[in-house]
Amino acid sequence: MPTLAHYLYVSGALFSIGLLGVLLRRNILIIFMGLELMLNAANLSLVAFSRFHPGLDGLPGYNAQVLVFFIITVAAAEVAVGLAIIVALFRAKQTVHVEDLDTLKF
């Protein structure tokens, strides 16, 4: 049987891969996908904790699953707004490469 530590390690690995994508890739869309991976890693650890710590009534902690539901909703809204900003940026600059987007650079 998998233990809580198994799920937490998978969650940590997934978060690290997402972080690596954000740090190393220069395509702004791939950076955005890395952000989604990191959000999902957080969801996995929340659901794992809810399953491994049931309440006194023998039910899993459903409050954590409601929190995951909220995270998914906010992430969907965030993706929509972020992609709209990327499209507006592409219209203005004709690039999705972050090193070409240096207008705010000091």
Partner 1 sequence: MSLALFWIFAILTLLFAVGVVVFRSPVSSAMSLVMSFVGLAALFVTLDAFFIAVVQVLVYAGAVMVLFLFIIMLLDLRTEERRPVKLAAWAGGGIVLAGFLVAIARVISSLPGATNTKPEILPGLNDVAQVGVALFRNFNLPFQIIGVLLLVATIGVVVLSRRELK
- What residues between 64 and 93 interact with partner 1 by CB under 8 A? 65-66, 68-70, 72-81, 83-88, 90
For residue 91, what are its two tokens?
């219209």
Cα separation, 38 vs 21, in Å, equals 10
Cα separation, 35 vs 33, in Å, equals 5
Determine, following the binding rule CB under 8 A, whether residue 42 of this chain makes contact with partner 1. Answer: no
What is the closest distance, in whole angstroms, from the C-beta atom of residue 28 to partner 1 in the complex?
10
Binding map of partner 1 across residues 1-30, x = CB under 8 A, - = no contact? xxxxxxxxxx-xxxxxxxxxx-xxxxx-xx
- Kindly tell me which residue out of 59, 102, 103, 106 binds partner 1, with binding defined by CB under 8 A: 59
Inter-residue contact 22 to 31 (CB < 8 Å): yes
Of 48, 7, 26, the C-alpha closest to 96 is 26
What is the closest distance, in whole angstroms, from the C-beta atom of residue 59 to partner 1 in the complex?
6
- Kindly tell me which residue out of 35, 42, 60, 101 binds partner 1, with binding defined by CB under 8 A: 60
DSSP state letter for 53: S
